[in-house]
Amino acid sequence: MATLPIATTAPAPRRTWGALVYLRTMLVFAAVWAFVAWWTDNPILLPSPLAVLEAAIALARDLELFEHAGISLGRMVVSIAIACALAIPLGLAMGLNRRFDRIVDPTFELLRPISGIAWIPLALFIFGIGNALPVFIMTYAAFFPILVGTVAGVRTVDRRLIDVARTMGVPQRTIVTRVVIPAALPTLLVALRLGVALSWTAVVAAELIGAPSGLGYAVEWYRELLATPQVMSFIAMIGVIGYTCDTAVRWLNRRLAPWAEARR
Amino acid sequence: MTATLALRDDTWWRQAGIGLLLPIALLIVWQLVGTAFGTVRTPLPTNIVKAAGVMIASGDLPEALLQSLGRVFGGFLLAATIAIPLGLLMGYSRAVERNLDPVVETFRPIAAIAILPLAILWLGTGTSAAVAIVAYAAFFPLIVNTVAGAKNVNPTLLRAAATMGLDRMATIRTVVIPAALPSIGVGLRIGMGVGWTAIVAAELAVGAKAGGGGSGGIGQMMFVFYAYSIELNRIIVCMVAVGLVALVLDRILRAMMRKLMPWALP
């Protein structure tokens, strides 16, 4: 298994200046967009940025935007919780016990290349259309990076720390909670970030095909109505939530494992 | 993971033997429980193998896989031809990066599949929409890793190049690109993985939303088996095929990287 590749963005030189540059670039982008929209002159194919903004405000005022976002976000939180509850203990066991790892690891390695999305048709048949399908797909998508990250994290623990604890007569249970978990935490949190990103990608696919609600469903619903401004508003909402979740996990990362930033 | 960390006194077949124990046991349990309690539709390992044989012999499965692979390569090439030069430029020049980074960072969190409804609207339900989705999906890992690689150039080398009077293009060609290659390789690998996932999703969704239109591909094939002829055995064959292709693609890219840039891999 490869290490988890995470691209870090460069720190902005100064916050306000960075925000200004951002605004300037996006204004140019919006201007180009507006020009192309005016040029094609087809509000169904490409509505103007103002029309999209209007639609987004109307959807926000109806709370429809937030309702679907809340549903999708709720599903993701549940899925991540389930994935963590399954993958972290398993990963700890696999990282700590080599024999267990050798027995179990190939099974997961065989399953891992099958992407969560490829499970959708079978899961549709098993669970039908509803809440269970997206939750299953997202849990599956988040499970593997978290498992791999936990195992990798446990492996990076300095053996001497465990030996010292053992020499001092610390019981195995306490070694796990006080030595192994804190040392594995930074790697685990990086994996969590990847898991959240993957499961958020999967939710859109799962909802697009097999859920009666949520952001993916809303995007598809408005596409069928040819209401492109609404489609774009929901797509933007998917991006906003994706970005917010990523920022939240990164914040958690800094709070829980401040020493990891320097190490990476 | 097991291979590199395994104890030295074990031969490979013993390691593989222990590892295969659990999957084989699970398959046997599945087969037994399925025959004992299942209905006619319950997929069984033996029937899945039979279905795989039929699908390969008839040429349906290879054809669908090739069609999907063609789309992935198309989208991947499109993404690479835009993302790699742009990423090198962004990594090399601070001004270009500052001005373009907001656009990249704004669109990066939007999942490729979310763009699918727009792609269908603009490009129809055929191959071009699927290619666009793959290109969009692969673009972001490629550009982010290229920028990171190009930024990571040893400043001493850049100064040496400047001292020796190299112009910008020559500096990029001889200093920046070789230094960025390992990182670009990582981007290629991630991009390929993401692109393959995206093609399955795109074909599935097109199949689901376009009423099983004839655009083909492995994703579409799976959807047809789900929606029109309920054949779970065949769906599972497709899933395994998707996984195998993902694995093979990754292995090929990794082998290529090891050949082309041996310093890149740990």
Going residue by residue through chain B (266 aa), what tens digit of pLDDT does each one get?
A: 444 444 455 566 666 677 788 888 888 888 888 888 877 777 888 888 888 888 888 888 888 899 899 999 999 999 999 999 999 999 888 888 888 888 888 888 888 888 888 888 888 777 888 899 999 999 999 999 999 888 888 888 888 888 888 888 888 888 888 888 888 888 998 899 899 999 888 888 877 666 545 567 888 888 888 877 778 888 899 999 999 999 999 899 888 888 887 765 54
- Give the residue from A137, A209, A237 with the most B CB atoms within 10 Å of its CB, the best one to mutate: A209
Name the closest residue on chain B to residue A47, using Cα atoms.
Answer: B118
Confirm whether A28 is domain-assigned: no
Residue A15 counted as domain residue = no
Query: B111: which chain A residues are within 8 Å (Cβ-Cβ)?
Result: 200-201, 204-205, 238, 242
The pLDDT, as a whole number, for residue A1 is 38
Residue A39 confidence (pLDDT) above 50: yes
Query: How much is the pTM?
Result: 0.83
Classify residue A29: in a domain, yes or no.
no
pLDDT, tens digit (0-9, with 9 covering 90-100), for B8-26: 555 666 666 777 888 888 8
The boundaries of the domain holding residue A193 are: 47-263
Question: Does some domain include residue A6?
Answer: no
Determine whether the interchain pair B107/A239 forms a contact, defined as Cβ–Cβ distance below 8 Å: yes
Report yes or no on A188 lying in a domain: yes
The beta-carbon neighbor of B200 closest among A105, A115, A224 is: A115
Q: Does A208 touch chain B (CB under 8 A)?
A: yes
Q: What does the domain layout of chain B look like in residue ranges? A: 1-38, 47-260
C-beta separation of A170 from A228 below 8 A: no
Selection from B114, B199, B116 nearest residue A239 by Cα: B114
Q: Are A117 and B112 in contact (CB under 8 A)?
A: no
CB contact under 8 A, B242 and A114: yes
pLDDT on residue A7: 46
Q: How far apart are CA A189 and CA A135, in angstroms?
A: 21
pLDDT at A208: 84
How close does chain A come to B5, measured CA to CA in Å? 9
pLDDT one-digit tens code per residue, B224-251: 888 777 788 888 999 999 999 999 998 9
User: Distance, in angstroms, between A255 CA and closest chain B CA?
Assistant: 23
**3-state SS string for A221-264:** HHHHCCCHHHHHHHHHHHHHHHHHHHHHHHHHHHHHCHHHHHHC
Angle B148-A185-B182 from CA coordinates, rounded to 5°: 20
Q: Which two tokens stand for residue B27?
A: 């398959």
Largest CA distance in chain B: 79
Question: Which pLDDT belongs to residue B263?
Answer: 66
Residues of chain A found within 8 Å of residue B99, distances taken between Cβ atoms: 21, 24-25
CA dist., res. B260 & res. A196, Å (int): 33
Say which CATH number the domain at A168 has: 1.10.3720.10
Domain B47-260, CATH number (from 3.30.420.40, 3.20.20.70, 3.40.50.261, 1.10.3720.10): 1.10.3720.10
Among B20, B111, B121, whose Cβ lies nearest the Cβ of A223? B121
* Alpha-carbon gap, residue B146 to B193, rounded angstroms: 17
**If you ran DSSP here, which 8-state letter would residue B164 be given?**
T
A143-192, pLDDT tens digit by residue? 999 999 999 889 888 888 888 888 988 888 888 888 888 888 888 888 89
Question: Cβ B223–A121 below 8 Å, yes or no?
Answer: yes
**Cα–Cα distance for residue pair B87/B96, rounded to 1 Å:** 10
Query: Are the Cβ atoms of B244 and A113 closer than 8 angstroms?
Result: yes
Instruction: With CB atoms and an 8 Å threshold, state whether B230 touches A236.
Output: no
pLDDT of amino acid B3: 46
On whether residue A17 sits in a domain, the answer given is no
Q: Do B208 and A216 touch (CB under 8 A)?
A: no
| Residue at A212 is within a domain | yes
Chain A residues in contact with B27 by the CB 8 A cut-off are none
How many domains is chain A partitioned into structurally?
1
Residue type, A138: M
List the single residue in B117, B247, B250 with the smallest CB-CB distance to A219: B117
User: Is the CB of A168 inside 8 Å of chain B's CB atoms?
Assistant: no
Q: Write out the two tokens for A221.
A: 């619903």
CA distance A182 to chain B (A): 22
Please tell me if residue A231 touches chain B, with a CB cutoff of 8 Å. yes
pLDDT for position A143: 94
CB pair distance less than 8 Å for A120 and B111: no
- Average pLDDT of chain A? 85
